[in-house]
Amino acid sequence: MKSLAIVGLQFGDEGKGKLTDTFAANFDLVIRYQGGNNAGHTVYAHGKKYVLHLLPSGIIHAHTINVMGNGMVIDLDALEKELEPFHIHQLRISDRAHIITPLHRYLDAQAEGNASQKIGTTLKGIGPAYQLKAGRIGLRMSSLMNVDRFKFELKQLYDFYGFNEDVEAYVQRLTPFIQRLRPAIVDVGSLLEAAKEKGQSMLFEGAQGMMLDLDHGTYPFVTSSHPSPTSAAIDLGIPQGWISRTLGVVKAYTTRVGEGPFPTEYDNEVSQSIRERAHEYGATTGRPRRIGHLDLVMLKQALRVAGVTELAVTLFDILSGVEPLKICTHYRFQEKEIMTVPAHADDLKQVTPVYQTFSSWQEDLSTIRTYEALPKAAKAYLRFIETTLKRPIRFISVGPQREQLIEVSHD
Ligand code: GDP
Ligand code: IMO
Ligand code: MG
């Protein structure tokens, strides 16, 4: 079976949506396995801009079936709005995926309002949804098969939290949408098994990025799911081993939205110019993204955890004219040079990045379509990443449009 997973290796927003949409042309199924509408995946197609939050980024191609796994957390209001321009017959949603309600959004806002808990979430109710799931009191999509049952379970949950919103009005408003959604709610593991038997190809799309992983990211400044495709087995109900290739997406520099340690961050006229040229503002919340140099220490860890077999470097066009151009190769921590990410956020805040400086280039890369045509200095920057990370760079993205992509041949 042809399969490929796409995973962000930094703090999200690496350009996963653009790549997933571009590659979806050659896949039958596009499958999101975790996260919710905290994600914002930007796709340009047919002269239009789409920002996808819950829907897999294959939905723009009419031939694809787009699957949302049990590892996802789904806000029904958000899904209804997002589905408007698309066809519901292209969508399949796991009957085991969890539902985000106004209560979840309220709990998220409560935690963010408390100085000791604030981490700068997207306020979409993501953390509470995974908390309630692990606490075994969450609501799942299967509850929607019977509106009375859904109402009863929702009332129980609201009562448990003393949350006084009107359940009747909420369910009544959503009922027409729930009825439309029902045929799409399926056992995703069985669906994928049948698709595999038919020889259909599968593109797996991770949301967020490896440094936001609940276990392996910069805890507690992380999201509450596992962006790694190694968790796709649990998040979809399929055996390990179905994913033969994992493409790690690396933005040519680093960005982060929300709070938390960020060793290579800098804020000056260079980072501000990057922010404006690349429009580095959150696709979900509009917050300005923090900017930093590329960090190979974090990338090295991310590659291992995510099982990355090859790389795509994105937003490479943005580095033209960036000076000084630096890559972090190590951290200095407690008088030692280290190549691993300290587990405690306070320790990670204390590290000093050790940099290698590279020659910059001025040429516009956005119309380049072959590796050979790249400036010499640009190739040196890429070669250093490839040799240090020991993974081939297969794709270089030089703009937001589908065609702004260089495929690198490694023959
Ligand atoms: P995602 O969350 O990983 O899908 O990434 P986002 O969509 O949140 O952020 C990536 C941003 O960069 C979006 O505005 C994309 O349109 C844009 N983008 C993606 N690839 C490139 C690229 O190679 N060059 C430039 N200049 N922009 C890109
Ligand atoms: P995509 O898929 C960037 C960040 C939030 C916050 C932390 C926890 O577009 O790459 P949450 O709402 O998940 O509880 O917030 O995670 N975050 C993202 N940052 N891109 C994303 O998704 C993100 N999803 C969550 O800013 O710091
Ligand atoms: Mg994004």
Q: Kindly state which CATH superfamily the domain 250-407 is placed in.
A: Adenylosuccinate Synthetase, subunit A, domain 3 (3.90.170.10)
| C-alpha to C-alpha distance for 254 and 274, rounded to whole angstroms | 11
* 41 a catalytic residue: yes
Mind giving me the DSSP string for 23-40?
Answer: HHTT-SEEEE-SB-TT--
| 105 alpha carbon – ligand 2 mean position (Å) | 15
pLDDT in tens, 112-126: 999 999 999 999 999
Please report which confidence band the pLDDT of residue 283 belongs to, taking 50, 70 and 90 as the band edges. confident
| Residues within 5 Å of ion ligand 3, judged at the Cβ atom | 13, 40, 283
Catalytic residue among 13, 75, 213, 317: 13
Q: What is the pTM of this model?
A: 0.98
Percent of the chain with pLDDT over 70: 100
Domain spans of the chain, in order of start: 250-407
| 400 alpha carbon – ligand 1 mean position (Å) | 6
Give the other-Cβ count within 10 Å of 193's Cβ: 14
Which residue among 210, 315, 405 is best mutated to probe the pocket of ligand 1, counting the most ligand atoms within 8 A of its Cβ?
Answer: 315
Q: Specify the ligand 1 atom closest to the Cα of 278.
A: 26
For residues 27 and 15, the answer to whether their CB atoms sit within 8 Å is no
399 ligand 2 Cβ < 6 A:
no
- Token code pair at residue 198: 């038919």
Catalytic residue among 41, 104, 226, 330: 41
For residues 167 and 151, the answer to whether their CB atoms sit within 8 Å is yes
40 ligand 2 Cβ < 6 A:
yes
For residues 244 and 3, the answer to whether their CB atoms sit within 8 Å is yes
256 ligand 2 Cβ < 6 A:
no
Amino acid at position 52, single letter? L
Ligand closest to CA 11: 2
- Token code pair at residue 384: 């250093």
Residue 394 parent element (H or E): strand 393-397
**Ligand 2 atom 5 nearest Cα:** 121
* Strands, E assignment, 201-324: 202-205, 246-251, 254-256, 290-292, 294-295, 310-314
- The number of residues in the chain equals 411
Amino acid at position 161, single letter? Y
pLDDT in tens, 21-68: 999 999 999 999 999 999 999 999 999 999 999 999 999 999 999 999
For residues 385 and 308, the answer to whether their CB atoms sit within 8 Å is no
Phi, psi (5° rounding) for residue 216? Answer: -105, 0
pLDDT in tens, 380-408: 999 999 999 999 999 999 999 999 999 99
**Ligand 2 atom 25 nearest Cα:** 38
Please tell me whether residue 89 adopts helix, strand or coil conformation. helix
Residue 169 parent element (H or E): helix 167-181
For residues 42 and 207, the answer to whether their CB atoms sit within 8 Å is no
| C-alpha to C-alpha distance for 353 and 309, rounded to whole angstroms | 26
| 247 alpha carbon – ligand 1 mean position (Å) | 16
The answer to whether residue 239 scores a pLDDT higher than 80 is yes
258 ligand 2 Cβ < 6 A:
yes
Percent of the chain with pLDDT over 90: 98
Instruction: Specify the pLDDT at position 20.
Output: 98
pLDDT in tens, 156-173: 999 999 999 999 999 999
Average pLDDT, the chain: 97
Instruction: Specify the pLDDT at position 25.
Output: 98
| C-alpha to C-alpha distance for 169 and 165, rounded to whole angstroms | 9
Ligand closest to CA 109: 2
128 ligand 2 Cβ < 6 A:
no
314 ligand 1 Cβ < 6 A:
yes
**Ligand 1 atom 17 nearest Cα:** 400
Question: With the CA atoms of 302, 307, 312 and 315 taken in that order, what torsion angle do they form, in degrees rounded to the nearest 10?
Answer: -20
Instruction: Specify the pLDDT at position 274.
Output: 98
Instruction: Specify the pLDDT at position 337.
Output: 97
Give the other-Cβ count within 10 Å of 382's Cβ: 18
- Which of 331-340 are b and which e, b meaning 16 or more Cβ less than 10 Å from the residue's Cβ? bebeeeeeee
319 ligand 1 Cβ < 6 A:
no
Which residue among 42, 249, 285 is best mutated to probe the pocket of ligand 1, counting the most ligand atoms within 8 A of its Cβ?
Answer: 42
| 124 alpha carbon – ligand 2 mean position (Å) | 10
| 285 alpha carbon – ligand 3 mean position (Å) | 10
pLDDT in tens, 170-189: 999 999 999 999 999 999 99
- Token code pair at residue 23: 């590659």
For residues 58 and 30, the answer to whether their CB atoms sit within 8 Å is yes
The answer to whether residue 313 scores a pLDDT higher than 80 is yes
| C-alpha to C-alpha distance for 33 and 70, rounded to whole angstroms | 7
Phi, psi (5° rounding) for residue 43? Answer: -135, 135
| C-alpha to C-alpha distance for 207 and 195, rounded to whole angstroms | 23
Instruction: Specify the pLDDT at position 284.
Output: 84
What secondary structure letter does DSSP report for 289? P
Please tell me whether residue 298 adopts helix, strand or coil conformation. helix
| 198 alpha carbon – ligand 3 mean position (Å) | 33
* Strands, E assignment, 120-183: none
Q: Specify the ligand 2 atom closest to the Cα of 40.
A: 9
Taking alpha carbons only, the member of 67, 58, 48 closest to residue 21 is 58
Instruction: Specify the pLDDT at position 157.
Output: 98
| 390 alpha carbon – ligand 1 mean position (Å) | 25
Taking alpha carbons only, the member of 48, 34, 54 closest to residue 284 is 54
| C-alpha to C-alpha distance for 109 and 165, rounded to whole angstroms | 15
| C-alpha to C-alpha distance for 263 and 261, rounded to whole angstroms | 6
The answer to whether residue 411 scores a pLDDT higher than 80 is no
pLDDT in tens, 190-208: 999 999 999 999 999 999 9
32 ligand 1 Cβ < 6 A:
no
The answer to whether residue 300 scores a pLDDT higher than 90 is yes
pLDDT in tens, 327-364: 999 999 999 999 999 999 999 999 999 999 999 999 99
Q: Specify the ligand 2 atom closest to the Cα of 257.
A: 26
Query: How open is the CA angle 158-52-75, to the nearest 5 degrees?
Result: 10
* 104 a catalytic residue: no
Instruction: Specify the pLDDT at position 410.
Output: 78
Instruction: Specify the pLDDT at position 40.
Output: 97
